[in-house]
Amino acid sequence: MNFPMNPTSFAMDISRKYCCSDQIFPCYSHHTCEVERHGVVRMSSGEVVVAVKLIRDGVCHQRGFGPFIYPLRQCVHDLDVNFRVRMTSNQWQHVASQHEKFVLFQAKLKGDLLDTTVHGSGVICSPDRRSDLNGDDVHITCELFAGGFSGWAHALRRLCDMGFRIEHRLQ
């Protein structure tokens, strides 16, 4: 398999794509971030535009991957923490209308608008709303042919950090 860069840098770039950013940069086209809804700007039959504020520190934010810390992304074009989000009616109905906090996944930045209606983008629940964590719930997992330093092992560690009780029985 040919990597466009060394495997560690490649893994860090992939992991950074899926964790929430604490800043929005116009120099990057797609952003994953946790936001808090402050009001509805416009609603139609096919889409909804809401006003949001970027949450800069939360459960979804990750400063690195394994022992490696992400380099800081800085540019002179840093934007404010207040944005508008364009989403589909389904995204609004099933996620954003249910709670004030939610995660925008790979939203495309267009001015001060984060668009989640483009291909590959979405709106998902904030981790504190995804599941009622009950002390009796234990999730049992296993992995085959992945080795001890697989992506699944990192995902399990992150889920444990978020409060899920996971018992990894077979590796």
Q: Are residues 121 and 146 in the same domain?
A: no
Residue in this structure with the two tokens 């394994």, named with its chain if needed: 66
Q: Are residues 95 and 158 in the same domain?
A: no
What CATH number is associated with residue 92?
Answer: 2.40.50
Within a domain: 22: yes
Q: Are residues 22 and 71 in the same domain?
A: yes
Within a domain: 133: no
The pLDDT assigned to 64 comes to: 66
Q: Are residues 119 and 144 in the same domain?
A: no
Q: Are residues 51 and 102 in the same domain?
A: yes
The pLDDT assigned to 163 comes to: 77
Q: Are residues 164 and 102 in the same domain?
A: no
The pLDDT assigned to 148 comes to: 58
Instruction: Mention every residue, 6+ apart, whose C-beta is less than 8 A from residue 128.
Output: 59, 101
Q: Are residues 87 and 164 in the same domain?
A: no
For the chain, what is the domain count?
Answer: 2
C-alpha–C-alpha distance, residues 16 and 158, integer Å:
13
Domain that holds residue 143: 139-170
Q: Are residues 146 and 65 in the same domain?
A: no
Within a domain: 2: no
Q: Are residues 45 and 94 in the same domain?
A: yes
| Tens digits of pLDDT across the chain (171 residues) | 555 566 766 776 776 676 777 777 777 788 888 899 998 889 988 999 999 998 877 666 666 666 777 666 666 566 678 889 999 999 999 999 988 999 898 899 888 899 999 988 999 888 776 655 555 677 777 777 666 556 777 777 777 887 778 887 765
The pLDDT assigned to 51 comes to: 94
Q: Are residues 57 and 17 in the same domain?
A: yes
Q: Are residues 113 and 144 in the same domain?
A: no
Q: Are residues 82 and 148 in the same domain?
A: no
The pLDDT assigned to 116 comes to: 94
